[in-house]
Amino acid sequence: MKKTLTLLAASLVMVSCSAEPRTLKDAFKDKFLIGVAVNQWQCSGEDSLGAATAKKHFNSIVAENVMKCEEIHPEENRYFWDDADRFVKFGEDNNMFIIGHCLVWHSQLAPWFCKDSLGNLVDAQTLRDRLRDHIHTIVGRYKGRIQGWDVVNEAIEDNGDYRNSDFYKILGEEFIPLAFQYAHEADPDAELYINDYSMNNAGKRDRYVKLVNDMKSKGIRIDAIGMQSHMGLDYPNLSDYENSLKAFASTGCKVMITELDMGALPSVNRGANVADKVAYQKELNPYPEKLPDDVSAQWNNRMDSLMNIYLRNADVISRVTAWGVSDGDSWRNDWPVRGRHEYPLFFDRNYNPKPFLHKYLNDK
């Protein structure tokens, strides 16, 4: 009897010891893809620690910058492929689900794209031709290698109006379905997404639901609605956010959380409009060394609530992607205020996972 008890105790110890630390991709493998935005230094291996964390924990990548129009297609007759090729190779070498970002976006648009030689807006047919060439060339180059594309990014204002971008001024609402049509022609197997920030806003939510339903009713391929999810400690309201998630799922599209980060610093503005900048003031950068424990606890609790939202909606969410590997990589160190010390991502500046992840990783 005593021997049996001793054996039982020993095997219990073994069971608890065998709870090895896991990776994020193991932890969420039956739920959704877990992705990360990577930069050119991670893909080239120059940032070896960032690359190692991306490989270890994530099974999907998206190009943070290297496929934006001004980078990849800086002049009408010149494409620049080196960084984008390295990004795709990085994903292939590591068996990742690869997302191209982004084909049509008013920001980081190469200056020539919507203009003629005098700087005036081009006519509708010229823009259609340019869009077709741009999308066919890029999507075509990576046909069968990139599995999903952010086709149109940030086309709608928070109140639900169409953004008055040059694309909209020249082509009106038509530019969105056209971009999807061209992408589908270029790679019929690729998944196609529409993507935006501040998706918790009711105006934006309603517009996207209508827009996507219209596209679907016309037989235009669209696979997912991307909720960027650039957040702060005090925005968005998580029930508005979850309502949007459910509303998007009601279209029959998958929902993707495409650019998740959550600032821990005082929020000066919301959303993710790259153009909204605020001047540096010391009070806006209160934790240049370390996040105080109480703020860290608040941040981790909110991330935990968010993960719970994702897990309870996992049947409609196909991917959750963090917008950068570690805190040191985040664009939020420079937006909306340049030079702050932010804490928005899954991994800290030493590549340690944040506490809200410990339970998924079997860490103490």
Catalytic site residues? 154, 259
The 3 state secondary structure assigned to 83-131 is HHHHHHHHHHHCCCEEEEEEEEECCCCCCCCCECCCCCECCHHHHHHHH
Query: Judged by CB, which is closer to ligand 9MR: 122, or 319?
Result: 319
Binding map of ligand 9MR across residues 105-134, x = CB under 6 A, - = no contact: ---x--------------------------
CB of 64 to ligand 9MR, least distance (A): 5
Q: Residue 358 and residue 332: Cα distance in Å, rounded? A: 24
Binding map of ligand 9MR across residues 217-236, x = CB under 6 A, - = no contact: -----------x--------
Member of 26, 31, 65, 74 binding ligand 9MR (CB under 6 A): 65
195: how many CB neighbours lie within 10 A of its CB? 25
Query: Judged by CB, which is closer to ligand 9MR: 143, or 338?
Result: 338
Quick check: 272 binds ligand 9MR (CB under 6 A)?
A: yes
Query: Judged by CB, which is closer to ligand 9MR: 37, or 122?
Result: 37
Helix (H) or strand (E) segment spanning residue 141: helix 124-141
The token pair that represents 253 in the structure block? 């599209």
CB of 335 to ligand 9MR, least distance (A): 6
Query: Judged by CB, which is closer to ligand 9MR: 23, or 64?
Result: 64
Quick check: 339 binds ligand 9MR (CB under 6 A)?
A: no
Query: Judged by CB, which is closer to ligand 9MR: 175, or 331?
Result: 331
Member of 158, 187, 242, 259 binding ligand 9MR (CB under 6 A): 259
With contacts defined by CB under 6 A, name the span among 22-30, 60-68, 78-86, 285-293 that binds ligand 9MR.
Answer: 60-68
CA-to-CA separations, 67 to 84, 109, 133, 156, 186, in angstroms, rounded: 6, 11, 15, 21, 16
Query: Judged by CB, which is closer to ligand 9MR: 24, or 37?
Result: 37
Query: Judged by CB, which is closer to ligand 9MR: 41, or 301?
Result: 41
CB of 66 to ligand 9MR, least distance (A): 10
**What is the maximum alpha-carbon separation in the chain?**
93
Member of 38, 55, 67, 68 binding ligand 9MR (CB under 6 A): 68
Q: Residue 4 and residue 130: Cα distance in Å, rounded? A: 76
Sorted by sequence, the CB contacts under 8 Å of residue 17 that are 6+ apart come out as none
Query: Which residue in the block uniquely carries the two structure tokens 């279209």?
Result: 251
Quick check: 331 binds ligand 9MR (CB under 6 A)?
A: yes
Binding map of ligand 9MR across residues 155-194, x = CB under 6 A, - = no contact: ----------------------------------------
CA-to-CA separations, 220 to 176, 177, 184, 209, 215, in angstroms, rounded: 10, 7, 9, 15, 5
Member of 35, 36, 57, 64 binding ligand 9MR (CB under 6 A): 64
Binding map of ligand 9MR across residues 281-320, x = CB under 6 A, - = no contact: ----------------------------------------
CA-to-CA separations, 169 to 99, 105, 113, 127, 181, in angstroms, rounded: 28, 14, 13, 11, 20
CA dihedral sign of residues 60, 64, 69, 72: negative
The answer to whether 320 and 257 are in contact (CB under 8 A) is: yes
Quick check: 274 binds ligand 9MR (CB under 6 A)?
A: yes
The answer to whether 267 and 337 are in contact (CB under 8 A) is: no
The token pair that represents 332 in the structure block? 């939020």
Which residue's Cβ has the minimum distance to ligand 9MR?
331
Beta strands at 191-196 and 97-105: parallel, antiparallel or unpaired: unpaired
Q: Which residues lie near ligand 9MR (CB under 6 A)? A: 64-65, 68, 108, 153, 197, 228, 259, 272, 274, 331
